[in-house]
Structure 1
Amino acid sequence: MTDSLLTAAGSAATTPKADELRAAVEAGFPSTIADLTCLVKIPSVSWPAFDPAHVHASAEAVAELVRGLGVFDLVDVRRAPVAGAEDDAEPQLGAPAVIAHRAARNGRPTVLLYAHHDVQPPGKDEDWDSAPFEPTLRGDRLYGRGAADDKAGIMAHVASIRALTEALGPDLDLGIAVFIEGEEEYLSQSFGNFLREHRELLAADAIIVADSGNWDLETPAITVALRGAVAFNLRIDTLGHASHSGMFGGAVPDAMFAAIRLLDTLWDADGAVAVEGLTSADFETPEYDEAQLRAETGLLDGVEPVGRDSILSRIWAKPSITITGIDAPDIANASNTLVPGVKVRVSARVAPGQDAREAYEAIRTHLEANAPFGARLTFDDVDTGQPFLVDTTGWAVAETRAAMAEAWGREPVEMGVGGSIPFIAELVDEFPAAQILVTGVEDPDSRAHSPNESLHLGVFRRSVLAETLFLARLDARTTE
């Protein structure tokens, strides 16, 4: 890795050998889609309730694809201890990750390519129009769990290197490291330890995190702001045991009653978060109207959006709180009973610029101060991830913008994302001099994490070309 920033004569409008690179991407695209469908067929859900053998199979499949590129000195599947288990006699290991490396030569930079091969649980099969792990092409979209998030990110890296070597030959000067994680969808518990154990192999001048999206089907984007995350279980108890609701209802508060009253205090009348101590960021947002919000989210006619100020500022720059699960009797088993205890999962997003742990303490303080009827509150399974703001002044961002504009025929939009990629903060801590680029293959209708997740093939093709052009630009950069 070079100690100083490399320089070139600006970011040229046209990448050297752009026509050959474009032709290589196009010629290899059918094989790229075929390899992607093979990956999607592997149900590599990293959550504890699912068979970990599938995650191991997925890692091996990715490793074989990377080995097949023929440009790396090392390709391996490795694991690291989960956080907090490092000193155990037999530490628990995280999910398998793929690591690869080739050294830079002649003063060229090194780029680290990140994606993840694990996926979210599919949910109910009946909510899908086709089986979640049977990739299905309908129109311009490939449907399947992981088709977009994030096995297409893996294939963007693989396809870009294939096209690069096809057009320029395998004897590149560019240094390339690859890190394909296996537990991003379940807390990235060994991420920090993996970085520390493999620091020399992963150190880079620029890092591409291929786990985000684009502005629309025709416009690329660089993600420059990500909200942080706070999630925890909250238990509300009011009774030592269940009681007949007819005999005692109206005299004692049941836990469901207390939970409803308590949770409602988290928002004001507009639906904006009403927790003292949670902050907002201040940056400009592109035009985005309510009609676009309705089209992209499926907001029903007559249902109004929540919050205040511009729509994108609510999503990118302000905190949000969602109740993502409730443990309580279901309707089929509901009896005339005062429920003694209820557990909920609270999921909050933290605005860029605020520490996630500070945000958790603010939410906890609010809940404790507003517990109705003296209800007892218990907090557990707390998880936090830091927000992130990208420094857009570096040479790597300039090269990415140029490559995207060339590949898409449009200048990229700098956008925020309401979701979180908490491990980026760990990348910053471990590689503070590296320039981090958050890109991706998704579009507003990809429905990552949801039923009928899909990848738009036109977006994917242009994303692969943009990354190929970016790598070619870096391979051509000369030292000052």
Structure 2
Amino acid sequence: METAAKVDALMDGLRADLERLAAIPSVAFPGFPAEPVQEAHDLLVRLLREAGVERIDRIDLPDTAPVIFAEIPPPSPDAPTVLLYSHYDVQPPGDEKLWLSPPFEPTPVEGGLRARGIADDKSNVIAHLGMLRAYEGRPPVGVKIVFEGQEEYGSPFDDYPPSDPERFACDAMVIADLGNLRPGTPTLTTGLRGASEVIVEVRTLEEPRHSGEFGGAAPDALLVLLKALSTLHDVHGDVAVAGLRREEWTGTTYREDEFRSLAGVREGLPLIGSGSLGERLWSGPAITVIGLDAPGVEHAASAVVPYARAKLNLRFHPKQDAKEARARLVEHLRSLRPFGIPLTVTPGDTGPGYEASTGGPAYRAALTALREAWGEDASYVATGGSIPLVNGLARAAPNAEVLLFGAQDSMCNLHAPNERVLFSELRNTVVAMCAFVREYAAGFRGEGASAEGTS
């Protein structure tokens, strides 16, 4: 039986298991119960065993949910090993009044299902299982499976793989924690922007002072802070901090109408910045004010503000060093003296970006596989979001090719109300996974493309 037909025969079971998994509120954030996370873990262990995986272990680290680690040995000494990654925890549902149906009751939508975490990342967990089922637990490559249980909140597992390189040794890895630019468009993600946070604060007075008696001479901390923040961008909205890397983006990107719809930009308003959307979103920097401590409007007094603080989120080029990028922003802010007043600047957490090498046998196999699954050539994109574990796994297996693709799409509302996944994307991802391991095994041995399929 050819690959597509085999996967089609499995889809009813995969959909049912996706519903079972998505019904579990496996939120690993503080304040949420740990039992559902463990329930999701236990369900996946059972599903892996049913798929023919015999070697299943768990990695327990302090202050994080258990990581499922499973292995299928290579079928022959000359077969490659592929590491498959996804995560079974999900974002909190947020304001449930904004959902059209309860977030942990998988609900049919046109062409798919709606539930929290059903796209990010439970669809990709099921896609990995689908490939294993298609090969009845005996794929043509060795397999190492990593299903993480606390990716959304962050965990020490991000930095763990380099400390145990033998466990994570592989020839290629498929990081399935993202997906296509748009439904029906096969997409390989080749870059992840890095991320840093910086806090900037101003204290000018011992306490508030009457704005009528003191305003105009007494230094207003909020005005000082706003003056500083206004220097971060130029008149076009481009980042104006020296030393932050920006390059032309040559891959595929959104159409402007798509981006406006996805971002919810109000009609008639311009986008900020110049250059292509890909350059603004992926190969150039972005600075966002994500928090501001200042008197609220509703209860504001007629007083000069003595203290103000802002938290900044910096996204930077995938290949720029994380500490260097953060340092450029810190230096810019510390060099300012708005109205002659210095700022207190505190560097926060920073995480590196990632840019994948392309052109190796795994990438060639993936391009063939994605074309087979979707019927058209794959697009190359990057993403402004960061996946810290990618760097950890890449350091553990520095010679492995890293592939980023999956069953999500940019319109699936991940991290937002009414998250959904399309069955077409899930089905095609399973087909692509099956075709990838087939083509990669054949190409790795130098035998050319195999025509045997999964039968």
Normalised to the residue count of structure 1, the TM-score between the two structures is 0.86
Q: Give the 5 Å matches for 1:454-473.
A: 454-473=420-439
CA deviations on 1:247-300 (whole Å, 9 max, x unpaired) are: 433332333322222212111111111101111134413364422322332221
For the residues of structure 1 that align with 2:112 and 2:38, how far apart are their CA atoms? 27
Structure 1 residue corresponding to 2:59, chosen from 54, 58, 78 = 78
1:252-271 matches, within 5 Å, as 252-271=218-237
Check the 8 A contact 2:80/2:444 in 1, yes or no: no
Pick the aligned partner of 1:46 from 21, 24, 28.
28
Q: Give the secondary structure class of the aligned counterpart of 1:179.
A: strand
Q: Does 1:359 align with 2:325?
A: yes
- The CA distance in 2 between the partners of 1:419 and 1:218, in whole Å, is 21
Aligned to 1:14: none
Note closer, same or farther for the CA distance 1:469–1:277 as it changes in structure 2 (3 Å cut): same
Instruction: Confirm or deny: 8 A CA contact 1:113 1:176 kept in the other structure.
Output: yes
How many Å separate the matches in 2 of 1:363 and 1:96? 36
1:65-119 per-position Cα deviation (integer Å, ceiling 9, x unaligned)? 22221223x2123222xxxxxxxxxxx4333211111221312111100011222
Q: Corresponding residue for 2:158?
A: 191
Q: Which amino acid aligns with 1:324?
A: I
Q: Aligned equivalents of 2:299 and 2:35: distance in 1?
A: 35
Instruction: Give the aligned partner of residue 7 of structure 1.
Output: none
For 1:123 and 1:475, locate their aligned partners in 2 and report how far apart those are by CA, in whole Å: 43
Q: Distance in 2 between matches of 1:185 and 1:208?
A: 18
Q: Distance in 1 between matches of 2:161 and 2:191?
A: 25
Quote the offset at 1:331 in angstroms: 4.0
Deviation at 1:240, TM superposition (A): 2.6
Q: Partner of 2:173 in structure 1?
A: 207
User: Contact 1:265–1:370 (CA<8 Å) still a contact in 2?
Assistant: no
Name the CA distance, whole Å, in 1 between partners of 2:200 and 2:414: 27
Residue of structure 1 equivalent to 2:63: 93
Which runs of no fewer than 5 residues in structure 2 stay unpaired?
447-455
Shift of 1:335: 3.7
Q: Is the 8 A contact 1:322 1:347 kept in 2?
A: yes
- For the pair 1:409 / 2:380, whether they are aligned, the reply is no
- In structure 2, C-alpha distance between the alignment counterparts of 1:349 and 1:378, rounded to whole Å: 18
Question: Post-superposition shift, 1:478?
Answer: 6.4
Aligned residue for 1:180?
147
Percent identity at matched positions?
36
- Relative distance call for 1:398 and 1:262 in structure 2 (3 A) is same
Task: Name the CA shift for 1:420/1:281 in 2 (closer, same or farther; >3 Å).
Answer: farther
State the alpha-carbon separation in 1 of the partners of residues 51 and 202 from structure 2: 54
- Match in the other structure for 2:453: none
Amino acid across the alignment from 2:58: V
Q: 1:234 aligns with which of 194, 200, 205?
A: 200
Q: Does 60-69 or 382-391 show the bigger shift?
A: 60-69
1:284 to 227, 250, 255: 250
Q: 1:76 to 1:335 in 2, by over 3 A?
A: farther
Cα distance change on mapping 1:419 and 1:409 into 2, 3 Å: same
Correspondence 1:73-472 to 2 at 5 A: 74-80=55-61, 92-106=62-76, 107-165=78-136, 170-197=137-164, 199-286=165-252, 288-373=254-339, 374-379=341-346, 382-472=348-438
Indicate the larger mover: 356-365 or 45-54. Answer: 45-54
Q: Tell me if the contact between 1:28 and 1:159 (Cα under 8 Å) persists in the aligned partners.
A: yes
Shift of 1:189: 2.8
Query: In the superposition, relative to structure 1, how do residues 131 and 250 fare at CA in structure 2: closer, same or farther (>3 Å)?
Result: farther
CA-atom RMSD, angstroms? 2.2
Give, in angstroms, the shift of residue 320 of structure 1. 0.5
Assess, with a 3 A threshold, how the Cα gap between structure 1 residues 58 and 370 changes in structure 2: closer, same or farther.
farther
Secondary structure of the corresponding residue to residue 423 of structure 1: helix
Give the partner amino acid of 1:182.
G
Contact 1:324 1:346 in 2 (8 A): yes
Moved more, 357-366 or 141-150: 141-150
Identify if the C-alpha distance between structure 1 residues 177 and 127 changes in structure 2 by more than 3 Å, giving closer, same or farther.
same
Report Cα offsets for 1:428-454 as digits up to 9, x if no partner: 221111111011212221121222222
Tell me which amino acid in the other structure corresponds to 1:101.
E
Shift in Å, 1:305: 0.8
Q: Does the C-alpha gap of structure 1 residues 47 and 261 become closer, same or farther in structure 2, counting only changes over 3 Å?
A: farther
TM-score, normalised to structure 2, is: 0.91
- One-letter amino acid matched to 1:196: S
Q: Would the aligned equivalents of 1:93 and 1:190 in 2 still touch at CA under 8 Å?
A: no
Amino acid at match of 1:79: D
Shift of the 450–328 alpha-carbon distance from structure 1 to 2, 3 Å rule, reads farther
Amino acid in the other structure paired with 1:95: A
Q: Which residue of 2 aligns with 1:28?
A: 10
Cα distance in 1, alignment partners of residues 152 and 277 from structure 2: 27
Measured in 1, the distance between the counterparts of 2:201 and 2:40 equals: 37
Q: Is the deviation greater in 340-349 or in 174-183?
A: 340-349
* Alpha-carbon distance in 2 for matches of 1:436, 1:194: 15
Q: Is the 8 A contact 1:137 1:143 kept in 2?
A: yes
Secondary structure of 2:364's aligned partner = helix
5+ residue gaps, structure 1 = 1-16, 81-91
Aligned AA for 1:99? F
CA gap of 1:408–1:289, structure 2 versus 1, over 3 A, is: closer
Displacement after TM superposition at 1:371 (Å): 4.5
